[in-house]
Amino acid sequence: MTIRQATDADVASIAALRRRWIEEDTGETIDDPDFEAGFATWWGKEQSRRVFWVAELHTTVGFISLVEVDRMPEPGSPSSRWGYIGNAFVLPAQRDLGIGTRLLDAAVGYARDRGHVRVVLSPGEGAVPFYARAGFDTTDTLMLRKFA
């Protein structure tokens, strides 16, 4: 298995995995012939602040992303940034093989190497134990306001 930073050549594979993920969550096939083109457009817009990693066996079987946020400068303090990890997915047939852990390790290592002051994420309920095993903890210092 290979974990590597994604490139533009991976857009179609990541879009296909994203489609599989949503179809798995909804339990239905989604007829959206424009999705792949829309995904490619989104990818192009996100490149300045988002990094993706892919997991490959014989094909791409998983991915994860990290959004970098540059913090507002403060007088007398060095500049800093933090990361938001999201969009982690591994195909069902390849789960429980350590692929998700290796993808997460790649994203966390990248953040650490880039000097991020923190990494945050918003996991689905079923993913909480996975992230807890990786050293993430719940917090009561963040607030959330949902619109939908």
Question: What CATH number has the domain bearing residue 113?
Answer: 3.40.630.30
Q: Does 142 map to a domain?
A: no
- Between CA 117 and CA 136 the distance in angstroms is 14
pLDDT digits (tens, 9 = 90+) for 124-139: 888 999 999 999 998 8
Q: Does 84 map to a domain?
A: yes
Question: How many alpha carbons lie under 13 Å from residue 102 in its C-beta half-sphere?
Answer: 20
Q: Does 75 map to a domain?
A: yes
Tokens of 131: 């992230």
Q: Does 73 map to a domain?
A: yes
pLDDT digits (tens, 9 = 90+) for 85-132: 999 999 999 999 999 999 999 999 999 999 999 999 999 888 999 999
- Domain extent, residue 37, equals 2-133
Please state the domain count of the chain.
1
